[in-house]
Amino acid sequence: MQVRKRDGRLEPVDVNKIVRAVERWAGDLDEVDPLRVATKTINGLYDGASTAELDRLSIQTAAELTGEEPQYSKLAARLLVAYVAEEVRDQGVAAFSESIRYGHQLGLIGDTTADFVARHAAELDAAVDESNDLRFEYFGVRTVADRYLLRHPQTRLVVETPQYWLLRVACGLSSTAEEAIGFYRLMSSLAYLPSSPTLFNSGTRHTQMSSCFLVDSPRDELDSIYERYHQVARLSKFSGGIGISWSRVRGRGALIRGTNGTSNGIVPFLKTLDAGVAAVNQGGRRKGAACVYLEPWHPDIEQFLELRDNTGEDARRTHNLNLANWLPDEFMRRVEADGEWSLIDPSDAPDLPDLWGEEFEAAYRAAEKKAVKTVKARDLYGRMMRTLAQTGNGWMTFKDAANRLSNQTGAPGNVIHLSNLCTEILEVNSDEETAVCNLGSINLGAHVTADGVDWAKLRATVRTAVVFLDRVIDINYYPSQQAEASNPRWRPVGLGLMGLQDAFFTLRLPFDSDAARELSTAVQEEIFLTALEASVELAARFGPHPAYAETRAARGELHPQLWGAALGQPDRWSAVQAQIAEHGLRNSLLIAIAPTATIASIAGCYECIEPQVSNLFKRETMSGEFLQINTYLVRELKDRGLWTAPVRERIKRAEGSVADLAELPAEVRELFRTAWELPQRALIDLAAARAPFIDQSQSLNLFLSAPTIGKLSSMYLYAWKSGLKTTYYLRSRPATRIQQATVAVLPAQAAPAPSVASPSLAGPALSMAPVVALTLENPEVCEACQ
């Protein structure tokens, strides 16, 4: 067999050459077998393939062995980094500053960053540390290579290596080389990563680095609705994730005075929004995405809940929009009391979206006289539950908790009207102001050892993170006038957390244990407290954010006090409160826990505050499919001599559960339970316990493999009563799944049915018993928040 070299010459495939290339990167990976990778690669090759194809195939081949031995993921990552580095070198780029110069020539890098790097070239070039590449897992670096590294506009070749990329991101946000190098080191240690828009765009010519935009409902008039389409398209083009309310727009059947006709309601307008969002290609990377929020008194609420159904008239379906319910407490109380619920047209009660708490309740009751329709509150709630079960959409978010427990609602007229695409951002907005937030997440796993949390390191990370999140606000490009009007006034940021499950595994804490809840709360308190301290320091230097006087903090009320929460570090709280009284805060909001799907995979940790979904699962992304194994479990099994092909097969057959792996002691099986096996009450309890230390909110997914209306209605009532401001996806699993193609057929399956007397075949499960045959549900997540 021959391969074609870059110069066109053919040469015989040499297995030893591949072995040597693999060995070069195997290094400390003692379980890796280079010969196996080489022979498997050659098996998949065809005569006359190019050497580039050979390289790519060897990377893929190594990656595909991850299921047997997780070290192959690291090997594949290194082979890929080497492949990318060669591509960069082949374009004549041998140093960081050269990649910036080249990128600038190509029109990719912005002038400011190009100048900055040119001025500090030697220092910055020396700071690049390729040994940090060794931290990457394959999925992470594949994602980076395919989507984050800047590419030549014509040839589509990458023009930066992973380390150049992180340094470029740092330089785009720094004013001195020292600062840039410090921030680069933090990111390349994978202890903290900003969200994707920052990772995509920092240092480039289009510095849109914010993740989230919260657009107020259009006013109840045509011009305003079309203005919103325009705004959404602009925001979407620059990779923002959009939340938009629609509660102010009149419902079906309402009178239109101008023409003496009646309205078709909100559905046709949302259909247009749906098409608009799908049409916009986010920076060439993907389609846009938006979440529409509606309050439950809106007359079109029932049609709204059907927008994602896959049956019915397609003209009334929106396949691209996400849906969320923005629920006043009054609704939940009537659900609980089994009361009536009135649907009221916004044209009859235009102030309802701007009211919350008692004022809302009074106005709502007064408006009930003009109700378009009256329903049983429980029937409507049941519809919401059904939508959640069938589509995962129709998120339950709570208007009153969101407003009551916000720093931004200190002055009359400042109202939070909705959350964002991932339900972790809660900020005031209005017709003139579109709320903006930029995000980043701490990898808690990188701050924990078996001995416990490294609190000093955590504090240092938070301080650096807050400075750079704050920096984004000034450097950012704002795609809409309304966004530009809001962000410099409020300067909110969203510092989040990922790898909570890693920390629990490292410390061997079951997700639903008291110790886990206490740790998660203590970590959140530490993060919030340190973030406040950092924001005061910024305020002392640069002044408080302009709208500071309108916040609750200005009145001496900090977020945990709004909750009446117990404090773990009361002295530090008093100290920071005193400092705030003196200097104010640079940022009206600091903490939000975003879903982090993409950056968690770059960092190689579990997503945000989530439990693991399975000990063995695959990710499907634009880059392909990737097997993910719980390496903590693998280590445990190896220590016990149980990491064998039969055990692997049993885990696979059990859909990644180890519940029935009797060789493992009960406490180990308990530790490695999956999200499907944990009581969801515990997830809510953990979220509620940390909530006083999150001044925005958290993207809290809930998991039920076989949801029923009864379970769901109990669960969401409990979430509301726990005081949570928002919840996110309901994840469920399909009723049946694809027949496993590579797991051995069980002997029992091949046995003949037991007897004529039991034609139901109640005996051994046949080829696909639905009980175990489940595929994990995976939710739609907003990349912007990642």
Partner 1 sequence: MTTVSSPTRAVGQTHALLDPGMDLTLRPMRYPRFFDRFRDAIKNTWTVEEVDLHSDLADLAKLSAAERHLVSRLVAFFATGDTIVANNLVLNLYQHVNSPEGRLYLSRQLFEEAVHVQFYLNLLDTYVPDEDERTAAFAAVDNIPSIARKAEFCFRWIDSVFELRRLSTRDDRRAFLLNLICFAACIEGLFFYGAFAYVYFLRSRGLLHGLASGTNWVFRDESMHMAFAFDVIDTVRAEEPDLFDDRMRDEVRAMLAEAVECEVQFAEDLLEQGVSGMSPADMREYLQHVADRRLALLGIEPMYGSRNPFAFMELQDVQELSNFFERRVSAYQVGVTGTVSFDDEF
User: Which residues are designated catalytic?
Assistant: 420, 422, 424
Q: How far is the CB of 168 from partner 1 (least distance, A)?
A: 24
Contact criterion met (CB below 8 Å) for 327 and 358: no
Per-residue DSSP letter, 479: S
Span from 55-63, 549-557, 584-592, 687-695 in contact with partner 1 (CB under 8 A): 55-63
Q: Does 178 bind partner 1 (CB under 8 A)?
A: no
Q: Which of residues 108 and 715 has its CB atom nearest to partner 1 in the complex?
A: 715
Q: Does 340 bind partner 1 (CB under 8 A)?
A: no
Q: How far is the CB of 441 from partner 1 (least distance, A)?
A: 16
Span from 51-59, 133-141, 223-231, 478-486 in contact with partner 1 (CB under 8 A): 51-59
Which parts of 507-546 interact with partner 1 (CB under 8 A)?
Answer: none
Q: Does 501 bind partner 1 (CB under 8 A)?
A: no
Q: Does 738 bind partner 1 (CB under 8 A)?
A: yes
Angle formed by the axes of helices 162-172 and 96-105, nearest 10°: 70
Q: Which of residues 131 and 310 has its CB atom nearest to partner 1 in the complex?
A: 310
Structure tokens at 747: 């002997």
Q: Does 644 bind partner 1 (CB under 8 A)?
A: no
Largest CA distance in the chain: 86
Q: Which of residues 287 and 635 has its CB atom nearest to partner 1 in the complex?
A: 287
DSSP per-residue codes, 391-455: HS-SEEEEHHHHHHT-GGGSSTT-----B-TTS--B----SS--EEEEEEEEEGGGGEETTEE-H
User: Distance between CA 689 and CA 512 in Å, rounded?
Assistant: 12
Q: Phi/psi at 177 (nearest 5 deg)?
A: -65, -40
Contact criterion met (CB below 8 Å) for 556 and 511: no
Name which position in 135, 206, 271, 737 contacts partner 1 (CB under 8 A). 737
Q: Are strands 373-376 and 281-282 parallel, antiparallel or unpaired?
A: unpaired
H or E stretch at 180: helix 177-188
Name which position in 423, 429, 614, 699 contacts partner 1 (CB under 8 A). 614
Q: Does 783 bind partner 1 (CB under 8 A)?
A: yes
Which parts of 388-417 interact with partner 1 (CB under 8 A)?
Answer: 389-392
Q: Does 314 bind partner 1 (CB under 8 A)?
A: yes
DSSP per-residue codes, 544-587: --TTGGGSSGGGT--HHHHHT---S-HHHHHHHHHHHHHH--S-
Which parts of 684-723 interact with partner 1 (CB under 8 A)?
Answer: 704, 706-715, 717-718
User: Distance between CA 441 and CA 439 in Å, rounded?
Assistant: 7
The single-letter code of the amino acid at 109 is I
Q: Does 495 bind partner 1 (CB under 8 A)?
A: no
Which parts of 667-686 interact with partner 1 (CB under 8 A)?
Answer: 679-681
Q: Which of residues 178 and 625 has its CB atom nearest to partner 1 in the complex?
A: 625
Q: How far is the CB of 278 from partner 1 (least distance, A)?
A: 8
Q: Which of residues 127 and 599 has its CB atom nearest to partner 1 in the complex?
A: 599
User: Distance between CA 271 and CA 314 in Å, rounded?
Assistant: 9
Which parts of 240-279 interact with partner 1 (CB under 8 A)?
Answer: 278
Q: Does 752 bind partner 1 (CB under 8 A)?
A: yes
Q: Does 152 bind partner 1 (CB under 8 A)?
A: no
CA atoms within 13 A on the CB side of 562: 26
Nearest to 295 by CA among 273, 337, 257, 266: 266
Q: Are strands 395-398 and 321-327 parallel, antiparallel or unpaired?
A: parallel
Q: How far is the CB of 440 from partner 1 (least distance, A)?
A: 19
Q: Which of residues 576 and 600 has its CB atom nearest to partner 1 in the complex?
A: 600
Q: Does 616 bind partner 1 (CB under 8 A)?
A: yes
Q: Does 652 bind partner 1 (CB under 8 A)?
A: yes
Span from 45-53, 257-265, 454-462, 577-585 in contact with partner 1 (CB under 8 A): 45-53
User: Distance between CA 543 and CA 555 in Å, rounded?
Assistant: 17
Q: Does 768 bind partner 1 (CB under 8 A)?
A: yes
Which parts of 111-140 interact with partner 1 (CB under 8 A)?
Answer: none
Q: Are strands 702-703 and 730-731 parallel, antiparallel or unpaired?
A: parallel
Q: How far is the CB of 156 from partner 1 (least distance, A)?
A: 10
User: Distance between CA 594 and CA 555 in Å, rounded?
Assistant: 28
Q: How far is the CB of 29 from partner 1 (least distance, A)?
A: 18
Q: Which of residues 452 and 734 has its CB atom nearest to partner 1 in the complex?
A: 734
Span from 48-56, 96-104, 173-181, 350-358 in contact with partner 1 (CB under 8 A): 48-56
Contact criterion met (CB below 8 Å) for 482 and 215: yes
Contact criterion met (CB below 8 Å) for 224 and 350: no
Span from 37-45, 120-128, 323-331, 500-508 in contact with partner 1 (CB under 8 A): 37-45
Q: How far is the CB of 718 from partner 1 (least distance, A)?
A: 8
Q: Which of residues 272 and 561 has its CB atom nearest to partner 1 in the complex?
A: 272
Residue 300: other Cβ atoms inside 10 A:
25
Q: Which of residues 568 and 723 has its CB atom nearest to partner 1 in the complex?
A: 723
Q: Which of residues 569 and 739 has its CB atom nearest to partner 1 in the complex?
A: 739
As a residue count, the chain comes to 786
Name which position in 60, 217, 325, 520 contacts partner 1 (CB under 8 A). 60
Q: Does 67 bind partner 1 (CB under 8 A)?
A: yes
The single-letter code of the amino acid at 389 is A
User: Of all residues in the chain, what percent are helix, strand and coil, respectively (each to 5)?
Assistant: 50, 15, 40
Angle at 80 between CA 27 and CA 77, to 5 degrees: 55
Which parts of 87-116 interact with partner 1 (CB under 8 A)?
Answer: none
Q: Does 759 bind partner 1 (CB under 8 A)?
A: yes
Q: Are strands 373-376 and 290-294 parallel, antiparallel or unpaired?
A: unpaired
